[in-house]
Chain A
Amino acid sequence: MIPLLTLSVLTVDAKAPLAVKAGTGYGPSRKVADVTISGRVIDATTGEALAGCNVVVKGTQRGTTTDANGTYRISVPSESSVLVFGFIGFVSQEVRVGNQSTLNVGLKASSSELNQVVVIGYGTTTKKDATGALTTLKSADFNRGIINSPEQLLQGKVAGVNVTSASGEPGGRQNITVRGPGGVRTGSTPLFVLDGIALDNSNTGGNSSSLNPLNFLNPQDIESIDVLKDASATAIYGARGANGVILITTKKGKAGASNLTLSANVGISKIANPIDVFSADEYRRQVVALGGVLDDQKASTDWQREISRKAVTQDYNVGLSGGSDRFTYYGSLSVQNQEGVLKNSQFNRYTGRFNASQKLLDDRLVLDVNLTASQTVNRRPPNESISSASVTVVGAALAANPTYPAYDSTGAPAKYQAFTNPVLTLNLQKDITTINRVVANISPSLKITKDLVYKLNLGVDNASSTRDYQTLASLVPQQDGRLESVYGNNQNVLIENYFTYTRGWGNHNLTALLGHSYQKFSIWERSWSINKFPISPIEPINNAGLGQDLTLANNRPSGSAIENELQSFFSRVNYQYKDRYLLTATVRADGSSKFGANNKYGVFPSFSAGWRLSEEPFLRSGPFSDLKIRAGWGQTGNQEIPSKITQALFTSQVSASTSYPLDASTNYPAGTTYTRLANPNIQWEVSTQTDVGLDFGLFKGALTGTLDYFRKVSGKILLEVIPADPIQPASTYWTNVPDMTITNQGVELGLNYRYASQGGFRLDLGGNITFIKNRVDNSPYSVITSGSASGSGLTSATVNGYVNGQPIGTFFLREYTGIDDKGVSIYRDTDGDGIGGTDKDRIAAGSALPTKQFNFNANASYRGFDLTANFNGVSGNKIYDNTANALFYKARLVKGLNTTPEGIGEAAESINNSAPVSTRFLKDGAFFRLNNLTLGYNLDPRLIGLKQWVSNIRLSATGQNLFVITKYNGYDPEVSTDRTVNGISSYGIDYLSYPKARSFVFGLNITF
Chain B
Amino acid sequence: MKKILILTIALLGLNGCTDLNENVLDEASATGLTDRQAADGNLAPVYARLPDIFLHTNYFAIQEISTDEAILPYRGGTDWGDNGIYLALHQHTQTSTDPNLRATWGLLTQGISRAVTALNTLPTINDSNVKTYIAEARGMQAYYNMMLLDLFGLVFVKNDPQGVSQILRGEEALEYLKSEFLAVEPDLATNVGPGRLTKGGVWGLLARLYLNAAVYRDRYNTQPTLKSEDMDKVIEYSDKIIGSGQYQLVADYFSIFNADNHTNKELIFAVDQRSELNGHNRLAYFSLSGDQFPLPAFPSANGTDGPAITPDFYRTWTAAYAPQDPAGIDPRFYRKNMTIPADSCVAAANVVMDRGILRGQQYGLLRVNGAFTRCGSNYRIGRLFYVTRNRPTLPVSFSEQVDFSVAGSNYNTGYRVLKYEFSPRSQSGRNLGDVDIPIVRLADVYLMRAEAKLRKNNDVAGALADVNAIRAARTFSTPAPALTTLDLDLLLRERGFELYWEMVRRTDLIRFGKFEGKWTEKTDGNPQKRLFPIPQTAIDGASNLPGYLVQNAGY
> Taking beta carbons and an 8 Å cutoff, which residues of A are in contact with B?
293, 417-419, 446, 448, 454, 456, 475-479, 495, 497, 516, 518, 524, 551, 553-554, 559-565, 567, 591-595, 600, 643-644, 646-652, 654, 656-663, 666, 668-674, 721-729, 731, 780-783, 789, 792-797, 835, 837-840, 889, 891-892, 894-897, 910-917
Q: How far is the CA of A894 from the CA of B97 in the complex (A)?
A: 32
Closest chain A residue to B9, Cβ basis: A497
Contact B20 A592 (CB under 8 A): yes
Indicate whether A724 sits within 8 Å of B541 (C-beta atoms), given known contacts A646-B22, A660-B278: yes
Residue numbers in B under 8 Å from A780 (CB-CB)? 540, 543-544
Residue numbers in A under 8 Å from B42 (CB-CB)? 672
Contact B95 A495 (CB under 8 A): no
Q: How far is the CA of A594 from the CA of B42 in the complex (A)?
A: 30
Indicate whether A792 sits within 8 Å of B79 (C-beta atoms), given known contacts A671-B45, A725-B164: yes
The answer, yes or no, to whether B196 is at the interface (CB within 8 Å) is yes
Contact B390 A727 (CB under 8 A): no
B421-476 interface with A by 8 A CB criterion = 427-428, 432
Q: How far is the CA of A726 from the CA of B108 in the complex (A)?
A: 10
Closest chain A residue to B195, Cβ basis: A661
In the complex, besides A729-B113, A793-B82, A839-B96, 20 extra interface pairs with C-beta distance below 8 angstroms are A478-B299, A478-B369, A478-B371, A553-B427, A561-B26, A567-B20, A657-B48, A660-B195, A660-B277, A670-B41, A671-B48, A672-B30, A672-B41, A722-B541, A727-B109, A729-B161, A781-B543, A792-B79, A840-B97, A895-B78
Q: How far is the CA of A456 from the CA of B98 in the complex (A)?
A: 57
Residue numbers in B under 8 Å from A891 (CB-CB)? 76-78
Contact A559 B22 (CB under 8 A): no
B206-253 interface with A by 8 A CB criterion = none
Residue numbers in A under 8 Å from B45 (CB-CB)? 658-660, 671-673
Contact B74 A793 (CB under 8 A): yes
Residue numbers in A under 8 Å from B88 (CB-CB)? 838
Q: How far is the CA of A718 from the CA of B238 in the complex (A)?
A: 53
Residue numbers in B under 8 Å from A454 (CB-CB)? 4-5, 8
- What are 9 A-B contacts with C-beta separation under 8 Å? A418-B387, A518-B18, A592-B20, A650-B29, A652-B41, A722-B537, A725-B164, A725-B542, A793-B78
Contact B542 A916 (CB under 8 A): no
Q: How far is the CA of A781 from the CA of B116 in the complex (A)?
A: 28
B81-136 interface with A by 8 A CB criterion = 81-85, 88, 93, 95-99, 105-106, 109-110, 112-114, 116-117
Shortest Cβ gap from A664 to chain B (Å): 8
Shortest Cβ gap from B410 to chain A (Å): 9
Cβ proximity bits B28-62 to A, threshold 8 Å, 1 near / 0 not? 11100100011011111111111110000000000
Contact B156 A659 (CB under 8 A): no
Residue numbers in B under 8 Å from A792 (CB-CB)? 78-79, 81
Q: How far is the CA of A762 from the CA of B44 in the complex (A)?
A: 79
The answer, yes or no, to whether B338 is at the interface (CB within 8 Å) is no
How many pairs of residues, A versus B, come closer than 8 Å at their CB atoms? 284
Shortest Cβ gap from A724 to chain B (Å): 4
The answer, yes or no, to whether B499 is at the interface (CB within 8 Å) is no
Q: How far is the CA of A672 from the CA of B77 in the complex (A)?
A: 44
Question: Chain A binding site: helix, strand, loop or mixed by DSSP?
Answer: loop
Closest chain B residue to A738, Cβ basis: B544
Residue numbers in A under 8 Å from B553 (CB-CB)? none
Shortest Cβ gap from A973 to chain B (Å): 25
Residue numbers in A under 8 Å from B93 (CB-CB)? 835, 838
The answer, yes or no, to whether B370 is at the interface (CB within 8 Å) is yes
Residue numbers in B under 8 Å from A839 (CB-CB)? 95-98
Contact B77 A729 (CB under 8 A): no
Closest chain A residue to B538, Cβ basis: A726
Shortest Cβ gap from A228 to chain B (Å): 26
Shortest Cβ gap from A296 to chain B (Å): 14
Contact B106 A731 (CB under 8 A): yes
Q: How far is the CA of A559 from the CA of B25 in the complex (A)?
A: 11
Residue numbers in B under 8 Å from A478 (CB-CB)? 299, 369-371
Closest chain A residue to B45, Cβ basis: A671
Residue numbers in B under 8 Å from A456 (CB-CB)? 8, 11
Residue numbers in B under 8 Å from A479 (CB-CB)? 370
The answer, yes or no, to whether B322 is at the interface (CB within 8 Å) is no
Closest chain A residue to B84, Cβ basis: A916
Contact for A912 among B16, B40, B405, B544, CB less than 8 A:
B405
Residue numbers in B under 8 Å from A654 (CB-CB)? 277
Shortest Cβ gap from A515 to chain B (Å): 9
The answer, yes or no, to whether B272 is at the interface (CB within 8 Å) is yes
Contact for A476 among B38, B96, B369, B387, CB less than 8 A:
B369
Contact A725 B80 (CB under 8 A): no
Contact A651 B406 (CB under 8 A): no
Closest chain A residue to B405, Cβ basis: A912
**How many residues of B are in contact with the other chain, CB < 8 A?**
104
Closest 3 CB pairs of A and B: A478-B370, A793-B81, A722-B541
Residue numbers in A under 8 Å from B47 (CB-CB)? 660
Indicate whether A782 sits within 8 Å of B536 (C-beta atoms), given known contacts A729-B161, A895-B78, A916-B84: yes
Indicate whether A553 sits within 8 Å of B432 (C-beta atoms), given known contacts A726-B109, A912-B406: yes
Contact B24 A895 (CB under 8 A): no
Contact B22 A659 (CB under 8 A): no
Shortest Cβ gap from B158 to chain A (Å): 5
Q: How far is the CA of A780 from the CA of B47 in the complex (A)?
A: 33
Shortest Cβ gap from A413 to chain B (Å): 15
Contact B390 A796 (CB under 8 A): no
Shortest Cβ gap from B153 to chain A (Å): 14
Contact A673 B428 (CB under 8 A): no
Q: How far is the CA of A594 from the CA of B24 in the complex (A)?
A: 10
Residue numbers in A under 8 Å from B1 (CB-CB)? 448
The answer, yes or no, to whether B409 is at the interface (CB within 8 Å) is yes
The answer, yes or no, to whether B12 is at the interface (CB within 8 Å) is yes
Shortest Cβ gap from B204 to chain A (Å): 19
Indicate whether A726 sits within 8 Å of B81 (C-beta atoms), given known contacts A600-B20, A657-B48, A662-B40: no
Q: How far is the CA of A699 from the CA of B435 in the complex (A)?
A: 86
Contact for A911 among B16, B117, B277, B406, CB less than 8 A:
B406
Contact B391 A656 (CB under 8 A): no
Q: How far is the CA of A475 from the CA of B33 in the complex (A)?
A: 50
Contact for A895 among B390, B409, B548, CB less than 8 A:
B390
Q: Which of B83, B99, B113 has the most CB of A within 10 A?
A: B83
Contact for B80 among A648, A669, A793, A896, CB less than 8 A:
A793
Shortest Cβ gap from A393 to chain B (Å): 18
Shortest Cβ gap from B413 to chain A (Å): 12
Indicate whether A647 sits within 8 Å of B24 (C-beta atoms), given known contacts A553-B427, A669-B41, A724-B548: yes
Shortest Cβ gap from B546 to chain A (Å): 10
Q: How far is the CA of A656 from the CA of B432 in the complex (A)?
A: 10
Contact A796 B544 (CB under 8 A): no
Residue numbers in A under 8 Å from B156 (CB-CB)? 725-727
Closest chain B residue to A897, Cβ basis: B390
Q: How far is the CA of A896 from the CA of B392 in the complex (A)?
A: 11
Shortest Cβ gap from A736 to chain B (Å): 14
Shortest Cβ gap from B75 to chain A (Å): 9
Shortest Cβ gap from B431 to chain A (Å): 8
Q: Which of B26, B46, B117, B276 has the most CB of A within 10 A?
A: B26
Closest chain A residue to B161, Cβ basis: A729
Residue numbers in B under 8 Å from A669 (CB-CB)? 37, 40-41, 43-44
Residue numbers in A under 8 Å from B369 (CB-CB)? 417, 475-478
Contact B43 A662 (CB under 8 A): yes
The answer, yes or no, to whether B488 is at the interface (CB within 8 Å) is no
Contact B81 A914 (CB under 8 A): yes
Residue numbers in B under 8 Å from A911 (CB-CB)? 77, 406
Contact A837 B113 (CB under 8 A): no
Contact A644 B83 (CB under 8 A): no
Q: How far is the CA of A892 from the CA of B371 in the complex (A)?
A: 27
Q: How far is the CA of A114 from the CA of B447 in the complex (A)?
A: 91
Contact B12 A516 (CB under 8 A): yes
Closest chain A residue to B540, Cβ basis: A781
Residue numbers in B under 8 Å from A650 (CB-CB)? 29-30
Shortest Cβ gap from A779 to chain B (Å): 9
The answer, yes or no, to whether B349 is at the interface (CB within 8 Å) is no
